[in-house]
Structure formats: C-alpha cells, structure tokens
C-alpha cells in the first residue's frame, strides 16, 4: 500500500509541475495550453492536431510533438514601391493578420517554421498590392476606393495562401507615401487640376447668374407691363366715371356747375404771386362782377362835353 501511495504522489507531483510551469511533454502525456496547437507525429508523419487541454501520443518512443501558435499573428510587410495606372509612384507599407489554420498542412508547407511562412505571406501580399493598386489611379488609392482595394487584396491573398494551411484575416495599409522626386510634380498637377475645376465652377456660376438675371428682367418687364395695363384700365374707368358725374352735375344745374368750375379755375390760376393782365369785360371774371352772371356788363356813358 505504501508503494502504491508513493507512486500516486509522484505521478500527481509530476502532473502538477507540468500544469503549473512545464513547457515540455512527458512520455505519452501531451499538454496543450491556451493559444497553442500541437502536431502529433508518428514516425515523422503528422497524424493529428491537439486543442487546449490533455492529449496522448502512443507509442511515445515512436512519436514526436511540435507546438504552433493558434492565435492571430501580426506581420508587418516590407515597404514596396507601387505604380498606379496614371503613372504615379507610391511607397506602400502594409500589415497582415494571419494564423495557422491547418497545422498539418502548415508543417508540410513550411518545415522550418513560421519565419519561412512569413516570408511567403510577405511575398504574396506585396505581389497582390502591386497588381491591384496598379489598376487604379492615385486618387483612388489614397481616398476614393481605398476600402474596396484593401478588401480585394485581402481576398486575393487569402485564396493564394489557403493551400499552405494559412488563414488571412485582414490586410491593411500602415502608410502611403510619395517618393521625394515625385512630390513636386504631383503637387503641381493637383494645383492645375484645382485651378481647372475653379474655372469650370466660376464659368458655370456666371452662366447661371446670367440666366437668373435674364429671367428676373423678363419677369420685371412682365410685371411692369401688367401694372401699366391695369393702371391705364383703372385710369380710363375713373375718367369715364368722372365724365359721367360731371355730365350728370351739369345736366341737373348748369349755372351752379359753371360757377363751381369757375371757382376751381380761379383757385388754380390765381395765387399771391400771380399777375393777370386782362380786359375788364373778360369772360374769366364774369362771376366776380355781378351776382347775375347772365346779365351783360354795364357800360358807362361817355362824359358830356362842357
């Protein structure tokens, strides 16, 4: 019993040490930690891949284990020069998020490990960036279609490396720069393009202004013509009404009408600064000479001779 108990204690101690800080596999027992995956080999042939937890390899002397990361990995690719379809040179710096999706296939494709795989991913990304961005203009690459371009590059690279046991999650641009020798020409062309757009916008604005002014002048002439027409109609109707009223007044009392009209003529013609030179028997003053305007004016008898 003591021997059995001692053996159990030793096994438990070894197992605890393995779980707490061990990084090696002991005998047939294989421990896979979180963020790891292990390939179990038999006679140098990969048989299966473990998941986090405990696993076994049997027979232990004929099997081996190789550990791979299962988490997503970050790869900064080397900056590369890309030429756009409009002839501009760009220095593009990318990064890729990737992981080992099939450890068995990954082991067969890259026996030396992750460094070889990263070189293959870097080459694929650079080739795809040059091929895709070379079909677009500088403006498309910088701002116009950047998101669509990165999606296209990601899908293209993902399909290329899938056969190696690699999965690509995303490819993004860290930085896009212009070579120093092309900055001046790019800025000059951008300035020329902005001036062309400014002239185009100004000419279109002037054309719209002329059209608006012409429409406003036409509307003003129409409004004035309608107003003059309406005023002439109103004036004619007023004159006709006044004439009718005058005629009715004259017909009812011709003498009074003649008297009122004469007073109006006096008021309009004579003021404090008016001087009239008229004959004493002028018809203009007939209402000032007598209360009977119809009576002929009295003529004084000539003086008798002495």
With tokens 């204690």, the residue in question is 9
Give me the pLDDT at residue 13, please.
45
Average pLDDT over residues 140-166: 88
Dihedral, 287, 289, 291, 293 alpha carbons, nearest 10: -50
**pLDDT tens track for 66-78:** 888 889 999 988 8
156 versus 83: the higher-pLDDT residue is 156
Among the listed residues 11, 13, 9, 18, the one whose alpha carbon sits nearest the alpha carbon of residue 53: 18
Q: What angle do CA 192, 194, 198 make, to 5 degrees?
A: 115
| Residue 277 confidence (pLDDT) above 80 | no
**pLDDT tens track for 92-150:** 888 999 999 888 889 888 988 889 999 999 999 999 998 988 888 888 887 768 888 88
Residue 242 pLDDT grade (very low, low, confident, very high; cuts 50, 70, 90):
confident
Give me the pLDDT at residue 303, please.
45
Domain layout of the chain by residue ranges: 16-69, 73-178, 255-289
Q: Which residues contact 121 (CB under 8 A, 6 or more apart)?
A: 75, 77, 96, 98, 157, 161, 166, 168
5 versus 235: the higher-pLDDT residue is 235
Predicted TM-score (pTM) of the model is 0.51
| Residue 58 confidence (pLDDT) above 80 | no
What is the CATH number assigned to the segment(s) 73-178? 3.30.479.30
Q: What percent of the chain has pLDDT over 90?
A: 26
Over its C-alpha atoms, the chain yields an Rg (Å, rounded) of 56
């Amino acid at each position: 019993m003591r021997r059995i108990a001692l053996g159990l204690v030793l096994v438990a101690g070894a197992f605890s040490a393995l779980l707490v800080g061990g990084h090696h596999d002991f005998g047939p027992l294989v421990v896979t930690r979180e963020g790891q995956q292990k390939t179990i080999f038999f006679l140098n042939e990969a048989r299966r891949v473990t998941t986090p937890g405990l696993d076994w390899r049997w027979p232990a002397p004929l099997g081996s284990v190789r550990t791979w990361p299962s988490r997503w990995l970050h790869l900064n690719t080397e900056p590369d020069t890309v030429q756009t379809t409009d002839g501009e040179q760009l220095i593009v710096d990318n990064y890729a998020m990737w992981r080992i999706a099939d450890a068995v296939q990954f082991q067969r494709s890259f026996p030396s490990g992750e460094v070889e795989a990263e070189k293959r991913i870097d080459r694929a990304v650079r080739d795809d960036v040059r091929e895709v961005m070379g079909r677009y203009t500088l403006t498309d690459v910088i701002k116009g279609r950047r998101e669509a371009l990165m999606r296209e590059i990601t899908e293209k690279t993902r399909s290329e490396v899938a056969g190696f046991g690699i999965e690509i999650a995303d490819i993004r641009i860290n930085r896009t720069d212009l070579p120093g020798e092309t900055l001046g020409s790019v800025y000059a062309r951008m300035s020329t393009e902005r001036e062309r757009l400014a002239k185009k916008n100004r000419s279109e604005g002037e054309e719209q202004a002329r059209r608006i002014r012409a429409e406003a002048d036409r509307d003003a002439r129409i409004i004035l013509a309608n107003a003059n027409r309406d005023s002439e109609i109103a004036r004619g109707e007023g004159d006709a009404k006044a004439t009718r009223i005058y005629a009715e007044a004259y017909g009812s009392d011709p003498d009074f009408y003649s008297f009122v009209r004469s007073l109006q003529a006096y008021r309009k013609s004579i003021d404090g600064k008016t001087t009239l030179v008229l004959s004493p028997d002028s018809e203009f003053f007939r209402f000032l000479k007598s209360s009977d305007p119809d009576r002929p004016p009295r003529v004084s008898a000539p003086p008798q001779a002495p």
